[in-house]
């Protein structure tokens, strides 16, 4: 994802500096990036770091490393934030990492893997193993877990036996299959394209009232990975993303969203990166 997000400045032009400035403004004195309430959070720190990396901007490495060390080996963190801890350490240069407790973090990831088999959890686990430089313990089991979450409409969901798949979950399933060497069902490209809104962007579900930036970025990422033709939707998607950008440099998640954050700003970069190709 980061490699593609790095293409976003081709479309942003001089506005790339505004985006970098917004991301830097979200760094708190303790070295964490702010959530929507202004509190430092590992989840938002991932997107703050990845956004700056995508823009090839200087990273506040020393500050962030101090924040990450406050979590030790991740004891007490939930699965999402443990995965974020691994991702943040992987985003920092080797010279500031020091003695990261890689094996302790991996053991905690292993323990969480046996929990609820959602596509989101599988996606986080795979990313964490990659960030920690470790192999997935049982790729076949992970593939089976993902396949079991196919929805009645042909997409993928985070629960069993549901009628409608979710765009982000289906996009994650495509990415998981590709990363694990499993053939991607070719009909998923049409499924994802059917979620495209006429005015641009992608809906999370057919009954969603508005397209959103998360669904748009993840759908574009999955479709690009399947080598789908994006020409017909490129301009509408660019127009949609433009309506979510602000002069502060950040991106909103939907037209109904009045708060900026690092997460959606990163998804804006990811979407623009795919649309720049």
Mean pLDDT for the chain overall: 95
Please list, in sequence order, all residues whose beta carbon lies within 8 angstroms of the beta carbon of residue 167, skipping any fewer than 6 positions away: 155, 192, 195, 202, 203, 204, 205, 215, 218, 219
Measure Cα distances from 263 to 42, 112, 269 in Å: 11, 24, 10
pLDDT interval class at 70 (50, 70, 90):
very high
Residue 47: other Cβ atoms inside 10 A: 23
Nearest-angstrom CA–CA distance, 41 and 33: 6
Q: How confident is the model at residue 112 (pLDDT cuts 50, 70, 90)?
A: confident
Q: How confident is the model at residue 111 (pLDDT cuts 50, 70, 90)?
A: confident
The domain that holds 213 is classified in CATH as 1.50.10.20
Q: What is the pTM of this model?
A: 0.95
pLDDT, greater one: 113 or 142: 142
Please write the tens of the pLDDT for every residue from 39-65: 999 999 999 999 999 999 999 999 999
Res 114 pLDDT > 80: no
- Alpha carbons 189 and 218: distance in angstroms, whole number: 12
Q: What is the model's pLDDT at position 218?
A: 98
CA distance 140 to 143: 5
Of 67-76, 89-98, 102-111, the range with the highest mean pLDDT is 67-76
Task: Name the residue range of residue 248's domain.
Answer: 2-275
- Domains in the chain, number: 1
Provide Rg for the chain, Cα atoms: 18
> pLDDT by residue (tens digit) across 119-138?
999 999 999 999 999 999 89
């Amino acid at each position: 994802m980061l490699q593609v997000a790095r293409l976003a400045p081709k479309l942003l032009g001089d506005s790339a500096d505004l985006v970098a400035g917004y991301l830097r403004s979200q760094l708190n004195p303790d070295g964490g990036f702010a959530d929507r309430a202004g509190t430092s959070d590992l989840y938002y720190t991932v997107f703050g770091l990845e956004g700056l990396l995508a823009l090839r901007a200087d990273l506040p490495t020393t500050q962030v490393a101090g924040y990450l060390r406050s979590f030790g080996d991740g004891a007490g963190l939930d699965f999402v934030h443990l995965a974020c801890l691994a991702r943040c350490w992987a985003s920092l240069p080797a010279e500031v990492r020091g003695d990261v407790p890689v094996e302790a973090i991996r053991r905690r990831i292993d323990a969480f893997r046996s929990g609820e088999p959602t596509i989101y959890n599988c996606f986080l686990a795979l990313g964490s193993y990659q960030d920690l430089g470790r192999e997935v313990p049982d790729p076949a089991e992970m593939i089976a877990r993902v396949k079991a979450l196919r929805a009645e409409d042909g997409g993928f969901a985070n629960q069993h036996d549901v009628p409608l798949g979710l765009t982000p979950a289906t996009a994650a399933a495509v990415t998981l299959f590709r990363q694990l060497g499993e053939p991607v069902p070719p009909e998923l490209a049409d499924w994802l394209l059917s979620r495209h809104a006429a005015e641009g962007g992608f809906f999370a579900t057919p009954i969603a009232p508005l397209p959103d930036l998360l669904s748009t970025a993840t759908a574009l990422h999955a479709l690009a990975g399947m080598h789908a033709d994006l020409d017909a939707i490129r301009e509408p998607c660019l127009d949609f993303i433009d309506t979510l950008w602000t002069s502060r440099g950040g991106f909103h998640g939907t037209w109904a969203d009045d708060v900026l954050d690092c997460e959606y700003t990163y998804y804006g970069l990811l979407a623009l990166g795919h649309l720049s190709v």
